[in-house]
Structure formats: structure tokens, C-alpha cells
Amino acid sequence: MDATMTDTLKHEEALFIPGEDAEHDEYVPKVAGDYLGHITEARTLTREFKKDGRAFKARIFNFKVHVAPENAHQTYTTHIDGTTKEITGEHFVDWSVVADGVFRFLEPANGDKHESNAEGNKRYLKFCQSLGMEIPTEDRTINGSTVRVQILPDIKETDLNGTPVIAVVGRGQDWVNDTGETRPSWRVKFTKRWESGKRLATTTTNDLPF
């Protein structure tokens, strides 16, 4: 080794000092649970399909929930290297979780070939209630009988984006990576009302002030 290289090794110093956030650098796996967040990237489409020999038509709502800073006060139980550990929700702030699609089954009008599936709208009803919407009721005559029905609102994409909700997250369909390892996926299974949550003025993930 020449003198120049020796001098360089003697005088070129490098150090590492852990920062205040060093504990957050550890790997924290995602876990199922309730997450405080806002709906983003809402989009809708209408589809006609058959199930069990019956024809239906539905408007399908797809969206994500972006975990909010307020989630830092939540607590979760995770398992790391065989050890059960309680962690705070700050590890999951800014996580965007894809939701399972919500179906709004449509009533047939004159000339339509699909049939009613009002009983299948329970999930959409719960979804509307989680957004803080009041659902009006009225009496209608159906097949000769008077039935009290709930009139479900027609939600627009702009109604959804920025709305505060509690996302109930669970395992989705696992997938296999390039090395053959099975990896978990996570989905918003349904939403609940976030009573103290504030609606965001912004409407897309890129606009979120985090």
C-alpha cells in the first residue's frame, strides 16, 4: 500500500450517530385493526352481471383510505421475530390502503332486464352511515304489500374524497414475490364513522398535507 493511500485511511474519518427517530427505522409489519384516515382516489363504475342465474346491475365504489396523523394515538399488537409487541399507530401514518369495492344494487326501470337486489344493499347502507349520512325511510307498495324501505343516497366521487372514516383493515389475498415468498396483502374490509374526524379540503393523495 503506497503512502498516499495510507494517509487517506488514517485521516478520512466516518461516524454514525443514531438520531432521535432511530427506533422508527426498525421493520414494523402491517397488522389488522382500525385505522383513522380519509377516503382518497374514489372512482365508480356501473356493471351488469349474473349471479346464481339472476341478472343484477350495480354501481361499484372503489377507493383508498389514507391513514391520518391522528392515527398516531392508536395502539396495535404485532409479532416481530416471535415476540409480541405493542406499538403506536404513528408507524402507519401515510399508509394508503385499497378498499374492497362497495356495491350499490340498482332498481330496474321500465325495459331493464336486470332485477332488484335491495336485500344486497346492506353493505352500501352501512357505508353511507359511516360517512355520517342520514338515510330517509318511506312506505312503498311492493307486490301488493306496504313495505317500509330506506332510500339510499346516490353518492358522487366528490362526496367521498376527503371524508374521514375509520377503516377496518384485514388480510386480503396473499401474493407470491419473485423469490417465491408468500407475502400478505391488506384491504379495507369496511368503514365505520369517525365521529371527531375532520373532512379534508383536498381530494387526492398528492394533495394530502402530510
pLDDT tens-digit profile, the chain (210 residues): 565 665 655 667 787 776 665 555 577 889 999 999 999 999 999 999 999 999 999 999 999 999 999 999 999 999 878 889 999 999 999 999 999 999 999 999 988 999 999 999 999 999 999 999 999 999 988 788 898 999 999 999 999 999 999 999 999 998 898 988 888 899 999 999 999 999 998 545 555 544
Tell me the three state secondary structure of residue 196: coil
Q: Say what the pLDDT of residue 135 is.
A: 93
Distance CA 190, CA 168 (A): 6
Q: Which residues contact 58 (CB under 8 A, 6 or more apart)?
A: 46, 47, 49, 103, 104, 105, 106, 117
Distance CA 48, CA 59 (A): 9
Please tell me the total number of residues recorded for the chain in this structure. 210
pTM: 0.80
